[in-house]
Structure 1
Amino acid sequence: MVSKGVWLYRFRQLFIFGYQQAMSCIFPVIIFASLALTKVVSIPYFHRYDLLLLICLIAQIGMVAFKLETIDELKVICMFHIIGLMLELYKVHMGSWSYPGEGWSKLSGVPLYSGFMYASVASYICQAWRRLSISVYGWPRQRYAVIVCTAIYLNFFTHHYFWDLRWVLTILLVIVFYRTSFTYKVGGKEYRMHVVLSFLLIGFFIWLAENISTFMGAWAYPDQEHSWRLVHLGKISSWFLLVVISVIIVAQLKRVKSAR
């Protein structure tokens, strides 16, 4: 039988882990709060997408000003903003989803604030990496990681014309990273998790966040244009692969920085 002291210790560890996760999610939470606020509150002559962009810019400046993010982390986040915006421009052009609202800050049908949704994922990864003292073991050779990352990103574009290789890439991912794991510290105690499992868990929670975002009108899939419905479960695989890209880029940048 598990003693009371053990249960208290486990509860304490869970509380610390939850607190660190919550602190790592500050930027995504700001975006969710902004989506909720702008859904019920409007400013005359100020489009919703423009207001969201302004809030995201202020939030990003505030994160650095209050030292919640470092300058190096900001550089990574800006990179993800560009990567995400390029993907958004292409996907909206192909009709994968749309932004039906109006806005001065829309580029080819894509509001510029949308890049911050990808940047918020990078913000979470960078902050969790630092707050939980994450270390990587068994990381594959750099060229293999780069090849997998590049192939996954390109598949988001090419599957509209050729075969969708997401499951082939998932198998390749498991093969390349079969020896790779993360360690993280909670309350001074170290834990270990296989890297593929961490990708899947983050992808699942992003899918949950996606359902909240579409419900709040952040964007709309073709089957949500007339009424909201649950995002297809298959989207978890897309977010899973997008998380792979995010983590690989962050890990590679940290390895380069450590080498310097």
Structure 2
Amino acid sequence: MDKRDETHRHELTRVERALDRIFNRWLKGANAHGIRAFLVEFLVFGLKQAWACLFGALMLIAIVAARLWWPDDAALARNDMLVIVAICIQALMLVTRLETGRELWVIVLFHITGTVMELFKTGVGSWLYDPDGVLRIGGVPLFTGFMYAAVGSYMVRVYRLMDLRFDRYPPLWLTAVAALAAYANFFTHHYVWDARWVILAFVVAIFWRTWMHFRVYRRTLKMPILVAFGLVAMFIWFAENIATWAGAWAYPDQLDGWTPVSIMKLVSWFLLMLISVVLVTFVYRPRPLGVANELAAR
């Protein structure tokens, strides 16, 4: 095992190290080349991605289950039940060490920034929630902050699981400026000119040369980080369609019956990915390929 392997295994939680041993046994049985080797590594890649999405997947399952089976006239309102479920999921992630205390700070930041945006957006009518329940702030049920926290959970966990490295990552101060501009525009575009396309162009410009390297087992693979942003934004958009179908919230054009979420929301989710990445760099510094330093930021 080389130094990078040792560092990577040290960064995993106990459960993740056990899963990693299982995955490696599968991968050792496959040839280094050929279609079988590719398919096995692709399967493990998908399983690691699914494992990183655990928080979000459990939240989405709870939202759909509440739509299908929770009675409308139950003593405990559907939205309050989702708050309790979300708290239990978060507690489970910490107790089982699937997330560390250090990572929790980033997830809390996601929770706060998401809730602030929810309060504003519901206030101006961008979307709305059912008025039932008491565990809410204004028109925003408290479970909504956990949906943003689920994105944060994915980001910090995939960083560890895939042993991410980067080529030509922009200066952190520059990415922070872009993230602040994107976050501010979620609020200001209701009153002044919408700058999302200018911000999007700026993000593309500063990340254009950045490549993300990730390793499943034998091979270190890479993709442009902008492609990674786009792929994650697409998955969030799919999850948003499922959540709005399940009645977790509704956009104005869905009040008379569910319709798919506008494809233009992909731009918003793309910019959210930028904000997410910048928040994660508070804990995990972007590491260049070949550097085996400590993962946690000092």
Q: TM class by shorter-chain length? A: over 0.9
User: 1:229: how far off?
Assistant: 0.3
User: 1:42: how far off?
Assistant: 2.7
**Correspondence for 1:64:** 94
Q: How far apart, CA to CA, are the structure 2 residues paired with 1:234 and 1:131?
A: 31
Q: Which runs of 5+ in 1 are unaligned?
A: none
User: 1:10: how far off?
Assistant: 0.9
Amino acid at match of 1:37: A
SS at match of 1:254: coil
Deviations 1:111-138 (CA, angstroms, capped at 9, x unpaired): 0100000010111111111100011221
1:33 has 2:81 as partner: no
Selected match of 1:20 from 44, 48, 69? 48
Selected match of 1:149 from 169, 179, 182? 179
**Correspondence for 2:124:** 94
Amino acid at match of 1:129: Y
The more displaced of 203-212 and 63-72 is: 63-72
The more displaced of 231-240 and 189-198 is: 189-198
Selected match of 2:199 from 160, 163, 169? 169
User: 1:259: how far off?
Assistant: 5.3
**Correspondence for 1:82:** 112
Q: How far apart, CA to CA, are the structure 1 residues paired with 2:282 and 2:174?
A: 11
Q: Which runs of 5+ in 2 are unaligned?
A: 1-30, 287-294
Q: How far apart, CA to CA, are the structure 2 residues paired with 1:142 and 1:69?
A: 24
User: 1:40: how far off?
Assistant: 2.5
1:225 has 2:263 as partner: no
User: 1:179: how far off?
Assistant: 2.2
Equivalences, count: 258
SS at match of 1:193: strand
Aligned residues of 2:129 and 2:248 also touching (Cα < 8 A): yes
**Correspondence for 2:242:** 212
Aligned residues of 2:102 and 2:283 also touching (Cα < 8 A): no
Deviations 1:67-96 (CA, angstroms, capped at 9, x unpaired): 111111111111100000000000000100
**Correspondence for 2:267:** 237
Aligned residues of 2:283 and 2:297 also touching (Cα < 8 A): no
SS at match of 1:191: strand
The more displaced of 32-41 and 218-227 is: 32-41
Aligned residues of 2:170 and 2:207 also touching (Cα < 8 A): yes
Aligned residues of 2:229 and 2:273 also touching (Cα < 8 A): yes
Counterparts of residues 237-256 of structure 1 (less than 5 Å): 237-255=267-285
Aligned residues of 2:107 and 2:153 also touching (Cα < 8 A): yes
Q: CA RMSD in A?
A: 1.7
SS at match of 2:166: strand
Distance 1:81 1:259, change over 3 A: closer
User: 1:177: how far off?
Assistant: 1.5
Deviations 1:204-256 (CA, angstroms, capped at 9, x unpaired): 11001100000001100001112000000100111110111101221243229
**Correspondence for 1:185:** 215
Identity of aligned residues (%): 38
